[in-house]
Each structure stands twice: as structure tokens, then as C-alpha cells.
Chains A and B, each alone.
Chain A
Amino acid sequence: MALDVAVEVFQNEYLPEGAADVDAIVTVTTTGTAAEAVGAGAAEVVIVDTSGSMRYPPTKLAAARTATAAAVDALRDGVSFAVVAGTDTARVVYPRTRGLVVADARTRAEAKRAVGVLQADGGTAMGRWLTLADELFAGFGDGPRHAILLTDGVNQHESPRRLTEVLERVAGRFTCDCRGVGTDWQVAELRRIAEALLGTVDIVADPDGLVEDFRSMAAAAMGKAVADVSLRLWTPQGAQVRFVKQVSPGLRDLTGRRVESGPRTGDYPTGAWGGGESRDYHVGVRVRPAAVGDRMLASRVSLVGPSGEVLGQGRVLAEWTDDSALSTRISTEVAHYTGQAELAEAIQEGLEARKAGDVGRATAKLGRAVRLAHESGNTDTAKLLARVVDVEDAGTGTVRLRARVADADEMTLDTRSTVTKRVGKG
């Protein structure tokens, strides 16, 4: 099923003499409704943490059961699925047969029954959970493969290196959205998994919030039409790709994910796409400067499907000029997302400093974050910041660290630091 893809490039292509760095925001927008987009099936695996800690408070496991049932209910007929329970090992809760099962009224009901009697006991080894999900997906064909991973704890029963190995092996085979329930899990750990598997990470501080979240994740996964889509960058000889980042929705650095796909051409994975999606990417290229008056194609940016078919294409240009009125023009889009990336960095560094007891650095970083959030109109992040610091003046970034901060507030700020505000396109 083909998606209609539009690729737009926002930049100031004019460079002063000798300049080499070209920056552009590439907006990729798809059209086509989800219903008509999904032809081939999709596959969904829900992974529920059933380690011993899920018993306390008891509402946690109950909420996880209900949420998993809601996700199962959201699966359309024909979708292949399974439910995995994760402890220091991993087992398939449903189906009883090998591999995935096709969703229909009967299998959905059976799955919910199996989920309803889940008990919690044992440890946490997320690499094993993901390995089992990978084995389940292996028998499935070409459509989008998506997992939901719910945990409440730390990956205690395997080494970080083991998890890294698993992530390297399974990356690109399925995407995975991660959710942490309660406040005993580690933001950095789940973020690492979500980034490797091109998914989102979020905190569900209150178990009651899980149901709606699971339902919407499953629904979003159902809306995907094409899996394994990449952003392909052609750059001229002698050029370097400084970075490729998704900047909306959410920050995700793809720079290290490049796979060479031809001369001067590399692919960066973007996961699965549905109809009616729009994502922004910040592309930074360093070219060999040409002479004033020369014009150069700094990058050809394409969205390519799983078999390399080009779905849409845009051009990042460079033109050298001695007219400083042109070369000093600021691209609103580039400036906005550069600011959002700085905002995320300031929050993460500020929270780290706060944990380390470095009050001066924490105050400076979080103050800067408050100012950036204020200037860019990122009110969601500004609100989260205000629970961690007392804001005296948002415009100048004058703040004081709060003496008492709820764990949930701090983790929420950390987790959502990478959520960007979309640029207002003029």
C-alpha cells in the first residue's frame, strides 16, 4: 500500500563566503487515512512486567492487567499478536500455541482471560523479554511490527552490556514504545530501549492512567501502513553529515544509525509510518565551501520504503553570497528546533547536577531550561519545570531549586524533556 508523502525543506540556503555548515529542517508529511492505508497485517506484542515488585501497591498489577486487556481490545481483526509476561525470564502468556495468533473475537477474549490471571513474582531481565518478542515477530511477514513494554523497575537481573547486545541485535526488526509505571524504574534505561527501537518513552505515575495510554498506543500501531521506512541522505563528495535528528514529535538522534546504501548515500531508520503523520527532522551537513555565486545541492533527502522505493524527496541547498543581508537571515524552523534540543539538554544536565548535589550548576541549567521553554512557548515543559524549580522570572531564567520535589515530578520532567513543541510554520 503506497503512502502519499510530501517532503518540505525549511532553511536559509545563503551562506557567507567560506562557510561550510548547512542546516535544514525537513518536514515529512504523509496523507491517506489509516483505514485505507493498512492492507497488509500488522503485528503487536504486549510485554508486561510481572516481577515481584508489581505486587506493591496491588493496584499496579491490576492496572497493568486492565491496560493490557484494553490494548488487546484495540487490536483490529486480522492483526497478529501475543502477550508476554516478563520477569528474570520471559514467557508467552497468550497464545498457547507457538508464534503469534490472528486477532478475532475469540482470540481477544482468550487473551484477556489469560492476562486477567497474571501473577507477579521474580526478577527483571528486559533483554530476555525483548528477545522473546523478537522470536515471536520472526515468523511474521512484512507489515509493521510493534511492541509495548511496561515495567515498574530496574533491569536488575542482567548486565547493561547484555541489554546492549540484545538491542543491537533486534534494532530494526520491530519498534517498541516503553512505559514506566510508578517511580522505581530508570528513565535513562527505558529511554535507551525506546531510542534503539524507535519508540517513545513515558511515565505513567498513576496506574489508572495506563488503560487509555495502552489503548492509544495500540491504536497508533494499527494506523501504520508501511514499516521499515528510512530517511535517505545523499551528500556531495567530501561532505560530512554532522547529524540527523528527529525533532518532532520528540527528539531522537539518528546520526549513529546510518547504514550506507550507495555512493555518498546513507539511510537513517524512521520506523513505521501511517497516513496523516508529520515529522520534522533537523539535518546538519558540512560541505566543502564553493565560491561566492556558486550554488550546491548540499543534500538530497528522500523517504524510502522497505525495498528502497523513494516515497518522497526534498533538496537542501547551499548558495554562497557576499550579501550579508541574505546570509545572516535566520531560518525560524532551524532556530526553533535548535532551541528545543538545547532545552532538552539543559533539563537533563540540570537534573543530573541536582542529583549530584551541584546546586549552582543545577540552578543555572534548569534556569536556562525555563527561559528556553518560555521563549519557545513550550508551555507543557514549562509546567513540568515549575514543579522542580520555583520560577522567579521565566524571561531571564531566574529560578531557585525546590527543596522538596516528588520523584514522579522529577521523572516526568526527565522523561518528557525530549518532547518538543512543533514550530509554527509561517
Chain B
Amino acid sequence: MTMESCPECASPVASQDRFCEACGRNLRVQRTPVGGPGAQWPPMCACGGEEFDADGFCEQCGRARPSARDRVEFVLPGVAGVSDRGRRRQRNEDSMAFGRVRGRGVAAVVCDGVASSERAEQASQQAVDTAADVLLTGLQSGMDAEALTTDAVVAANEAVGRLARPEAAEVAPSCTFVSAVVTDGSATVGWVGDSRAYLVAEAGAARLTTDDTWAAQLVAEGVLTEEEALTDRRAHVLSRWLGADSGVDAPQTVTFKVETPGLLVLCSDGLWNYVPEPEDLLEVLPRGVPPVEVARELVDVALKAGGHDNITVVVVQLRGGHGA
């Protein structure tokens, strides 16, 4: 019998316990906190100052107090994520949520708030939390992963839609969506928008998603070549998104068998802008390190390349037939 401790109250629990004897917490599910990294402000400014005025400006260097969202890291066994404001944006409007159901699998979601919509960070946070709830609940009851992913997208779309103000429909809070449900031996990826999923294994790397952008659509229809699309000003204009005005009722999905060990990488365009092709990603990906190190390194690559957008990377370890 392996002794662990309850993540809620730190009481000793056995590895096969379903609930903590002390506090009653569900021990089968571990996940990122709802609402994001919480309201714990970083105690210090980048300059080392610890005092802030009522408006949150550092009494020493005057800079605005860093938001708890500026840099978020979260680690669970077999899955980890890093989200970073980047070097150019004022806020981090990306969000991530993921969790693990013992004996069942892992679910992860990344959403990228659409910068031209209002309260984009709220939209992405609402979307990842809602979707993660649906996915983790479904995982516990053993639902079909593709149906589950569609349910998650529908629920997230509704949740984000409820944030809209009727008088400001044209800037209704919106975000992209990419999710992964990884169970014993198979994985399902679903997406809406231009956040991506990549599969990296010993043999090579592959992109699992196709962007829901006008440019990608025109390429698919043969109107533009891949190269023309990259330089087209519509390259990043989304054709599908989540939000009040989205009209989305299902994601695109792909399901595949996991036969060899590898990594599933979910990311926002803040990363893939710098490493668009699977080979590019493979080149910068560190080997033989835990998922959190992989996520940190990839975020670092994007930051060093300029960090023009928010960067979020969630990395899921694939064991290849040995269970997640």
C-alpha cells in the first residue's frame, strides 16, 4: 500500500482510497483550480519592491503589480502546463485547465481569448473551466471521448456566450478552444479556432489540428497557396470561435491510438507562430525531461523569439498502451 497525502488537507491517504477520510475530498480527480491560479498576488514587483499603492502600482519603481495571470504554472502527474503573458501584451488572455482521473485518464484544455473582444481573459478562463468539468466528469463515467469533447465545446460555448452584453454584441467575449482526452491507449483532440495540438513521438512529430481561419479555409479550397496564406493579413482571422456570436455546435475532432510513448502538446498561437511546422517543434523540444520542463522550455523559445502574443503550452505524457 502506497502512502500519499490528500492534496486538500494533507492527511495521509492510501493510493486506492476514493475519498479522503479526513476532509472528504474526491481523491480520484486532481485538477487545476477553477477560476485559474487564484487570487494570490505575487508578493513582489519585478524590481523587488513589496509595497503597492491602492491602485496596484509599485511604490518603488511605479510598475503595475504583476497579475497572477502573467505567469502560470501547474503540474500534475503526467500532465503540466505553463501560460505566459509574453513580452508585448498587457494581459495574459490565454487560459488552461487540466486534470487527471485516477485509473481513467487525463483531460486538458487550452483557450486563447480573442484580443479584439472584450473581457477576453474572462472568456478563456470560463471556457477552460467549463470544458474541464465536463471532460473530467465524463472521464469518470467512461463516456465516449469524441461525444464528450463535443459536450465540452457546447457547454463552454454557452458559458462564454453568457458573458456577452446584449448592447455590445460586436465585441462579445470570445476565445479559441483545443482539448485532449487521453485514456488507456487512445487520445481524442478537439478544436475550434487556431489553437493547436501536436503529437511528438520518437519517430517524429505531427500536427493534429487544422486552423479554423479564413486563410486556412482558402488554402483548403485552393484559393491561396500555403505560402500566400502565411503572409496574408487574414492569416489569423478566425472563421470559428466560442462566444455569443459563434454559431458553433461542435468542434472538429480527431481520435488516434496511442501505441508508443510520446507527448501531446496543446498550445496557443503564441507558441506555434514561432514553430509552425511539426519539424520546427521537434527541433526545439527537449528530450528526457518531465512535461513541465518541456512546457517551460517551449514557452521560453517563444519568449526568446519575441513573445509577441500570450503563450500557453500544456504537455500530456503518452505512455503508449501502458495507461495514462
Contact = CB atoms under 8 A, between A and B. Distances in A.
A292 interface: yes
Contacts of B243: none
Contact of B53 (A288, A293, A297): A297
A236 B62 contact: yes
Contact of B61 (A237, A291, A293, A300): A237
Contacts of A295: 63-64, 90
B85 interface: yes
B87 interface: yes
A293 B62 contact: no
Given A236-B62, A237-B47, A296 B87 contact: no
Contact of B63 (A235, A294, A300, A322): A294
The 6 tightest CB contacts between A and B, nearest first, are A236-B62, A297-B57, A295-B64, A297-B62, A296-B62, A292-B88
Contacts of B85: 293
A287 interface: yes
A327 to B, nearest CB: 13
Contacts of A290: 63
Given A237-B47, A292-B87, A315 B55 contact: yes
B155 to A, nearest CB: 32
Given A297-B62, A322-B88, 6 more contacts: A237-B61, A293-B85, A293-B88, A293-B90, A294-B90, A321-B90
B165 interface: no
B60 interface: yes
A238 B63 CA distance: 12
Interface string A283-322: 0000110111111111010000000000000010001011
A249 B89 CA distance: 40
A236 B62 CA distance: 5
Interface string B44-74: 0001000001010110111110000000000
A297 B54 CA distance: 12
Nearest to A318: B62
A239 interface: yes
A292 B303 CA distance: 13
Contacts of A237: 47, 60-62
A241 to B, nearest CB: 13
Interface in A25-67: none
B86 A294 contact: no
A299 to B, nearest CB: 8
Interface string B187-225: 000000000000000000000000000000000000000
Contacts of A298: 62
B124 to A, nearest CB: 17
Interface of A: 235-239, 287-288, 290-298, 300, 315, 319, 321-322
Contacts of B89: 293
A298 B62 CA distance: 6
A190 B110 CA distance: 70
B62 A239 contact: yes
Nearest to B90: A293
25 contacts: A236-B61, A236-B62, A237-B62, A238-B61, A290-B63, A291-B87, A292-B87, A293-B85, A293-B87, A293-B88, A294-B63, A294-B64, A294-B90, A295-B63, A295-B90, A296-B61, A296-B62, A296-B63, A297-B55, A297-B57, A297-B62, A297-B63, A297-B64, A315-B55, A321-B90
Interface of B: 47, 53, 55, 57-58, 60-64, 85-90
A322 B55 CA distance: 24
B65 to A, nearest CB: 10
B31 to A, nearest CB: 30
A319 B56 CA distance: 15
A296 B64 contact: yes
A239 B47 CA distance: 14
B62 A235 contact: yes
B61 to A, nearest CB: 5
A293 B47 CA distance: 16
A319 B47 CA distance: 17
Nearest to B308: A322
A239 B57 CA distance: 15
A8 B63 CA distance: 21
A271 to B, nearest CB: 28
Contacts of A297: 53, 55, 57-58, 62-64
Contacts of B88: 292-293, 322
A286 to B, nearest CB: 12
Nearest to B85: A293
A293 B90 CA distance: 4
B60 A296 contact: no
B47, B61, B87 interface centre (most CB from chain A within 10 Å): B61
A287 B60 CA distance: 12
Contacts of B62: 235-237, 239, 287, 296-298
Contacts of B60: 236-237
A321 B308 CA distance: 11
A21 B90 CA distance: 20
Contacts of A238: 61
B19 to A, nearest CB: 44
A410 B133 CA distance: 81
Contacts of A315: 55, 57
